[in-house]
């Protein structure tokens, strides 16, 4: 305990003594983590969107005209259900379609409450026994000549494209995240190196009078961890606030295009806080250990 409190006191006095360098490192890591956070948010949202798109469009939707009765719709559903390669066919009335939309929009469902009339058509959702047989199944459905069928929506190509794009985004984000982590480590390591350099004499004397490597290292290690942690708190606040603003701005647009909003703020903040804290601490600790390694080997 005495050892820890000594190291802690030393670490804080070091940070204070080198406050310009400490501030510079904190800002550099904060910027790095913030950029990293942007990629994280992008990745999470792309992932969610892809999953949503897959889930929503992994079936063929047959929109029915408003003139078709529910009984006719049910009969048509049954007919389609009997086609080869069809796994399931579910009939959704106009009211059902509105309900489904409300669930999908979640917290933002209130936006739908203002509608004067229900704009969603009655729909038959058809799923193929196998995703590869979807095209053949669609062809079979098209042969049914029923005036009640307004449109057959089949999105396979779009889904493939979206999945591909999301894969590119994910790979790119991961590469960038790794590069950013390495850069941050370099920044911390340089700060600590400068601190170590400034205290070269002190460390040398410490070693001469019999200080263990851990005695010398601990304050620097704590310094790195504190710098990393402060940067993580700052970047969580900055990115969290920016995302909060983005949600306000983008959610209505996203709902219109993708039928889903952005990933909720709480989820992002909670995860970012943990990821940033872990990364910040690791970057700080590793940065300081690396910068001291050469120094302590003597």
Partner 1 sequence: MIVFDNVTKYYDDKVAVEDLSMIIEDGEFVFLVGKSGAGKSTCIKLLLKEIEADEGTILVDEREVTGMPKRLVPKHRRKIGIVFQNFRLLPKKTVYENIAFAMNIVYASRRKIKPSVQEVLKLVGLEDKEKMYPDQLSEGEQQRVAIARAIVNKPTLLIADEPTGNLDPDTAWGIMELLQKINDAGTTIVMVTHAKDIVDRMEKRVIVIDDGIIVRDSKKGAYTEDEEI
Interatomic CA distance for residues 283 and 136, integer angstroms:
54
CA proximity to 293, closest of 199, 220, 208: 220
Packing angle, helices 156-198 and 200-208, rounded to 10: 70
**Number of residues forming the site for partner 1 (CB under 8 A):** 18
* Residues in 190-229 at the binding interface with partner 1, rule: CB under 8 A: 201-202, 204-213, 215
* Residues in 8-27 at the binding interface with partner 1, rule: CB under 8 A: 17
Judged by CB, which is closer to partner 1: 82, or 210? 210
Neighbour order of strands in the sheet with 123-128 = 86-92, 123-128, 60-64, 149-153
Judged by CB, which is closer to partner 1: 85, or 223? 223
CB of 22 to partner 1, least distance (A): 17
CB of 297 to partner 1, least distance (A): 10
Phi and psi, residue 122, nearest 5°: -65, 145
CB of 44 to partner 1, least distance (A): 46
* Residues in 72-111 at the binding interface with partner 1, rule: CB under 8 A: none
Q: Are 187 and 151 in contact (CB under 8 A)?
A: no
CA proximity to 77, closest of 61, 90, 67: 90
Judged by CB, which is closer to partner 1: 214, or 270? 214
Does residue number 267 form part of the binding site for partner 1 (CB under 8 A)?
A: no
* Residues in 233-252 at the binding interface with partner 1, rule: CB under 8 A: none
Phi and psi, residue 265, nearest 5°: -55, -45
Task: Give residues in contact with partner 1 (CB under 8 A).
Answer: 2-3, 6, 17, 201-202, 204-213, 215, 298
């Amino acid at each position: 305990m005495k050892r820890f409190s000594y190291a802690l006191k030393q670490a804080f006095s070091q940070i204070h003594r080198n406050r310009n360098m400490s501030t510079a490192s904190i800002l550099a890591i904060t910027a790095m983590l913030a950029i990293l956070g942007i990629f994280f948010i992008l990745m999470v949202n792309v992932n969610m969107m892809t999953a949503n798109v897959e889930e929503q469009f992994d079936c063929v939707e047959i929109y029915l005209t408003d003139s078709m009765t529910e009984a006719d719709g049910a009969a048509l559903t049954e007919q389609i259900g009997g086609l080869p390669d069809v796994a399931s066919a579910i009939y959704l009335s106009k009211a059902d379609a509105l309900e489904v939309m409300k669930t999908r929009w979640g917290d933002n469902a209130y936006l739908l409450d203002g509608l004067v009339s229900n704009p969603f058509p009655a729909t038959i959702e058809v799923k193929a026994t196998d995703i590869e047989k979807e095209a053949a199944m669609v062809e079979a459905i098209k042969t049914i000549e029923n005036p009640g069928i307004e449109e057959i929506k089949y999105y396979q190509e779009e889904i493939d494209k979206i999945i591909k794009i999301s894969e590119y985004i994910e790979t790119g984000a991961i590469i960038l995240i790794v590069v950013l982590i390495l850069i941050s480590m370099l920044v911390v390591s340089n700060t600590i190196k400068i601190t170590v350099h400034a205290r070269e004499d002190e460390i040398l004397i410490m070693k001469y009078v019999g200080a263990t490597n851990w005695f010398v290292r601990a304050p620097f290690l704590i310094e790195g961890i504190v710098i990393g942690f402060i940067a993580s708190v700052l970047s969580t606040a900055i990115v969290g606030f920016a995302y909060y603003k983005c949600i306000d701005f983008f959610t209505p647009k996203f709902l219109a295009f993708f039928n889903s909003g952005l990933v909720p703020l709480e989820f992002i903040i909670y995860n970012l806080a943990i990821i940033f804290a872990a990364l910040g601490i690791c970057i700080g600790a590793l940065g300081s250990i690396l910068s001291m390694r050469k120094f302590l080997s003597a």
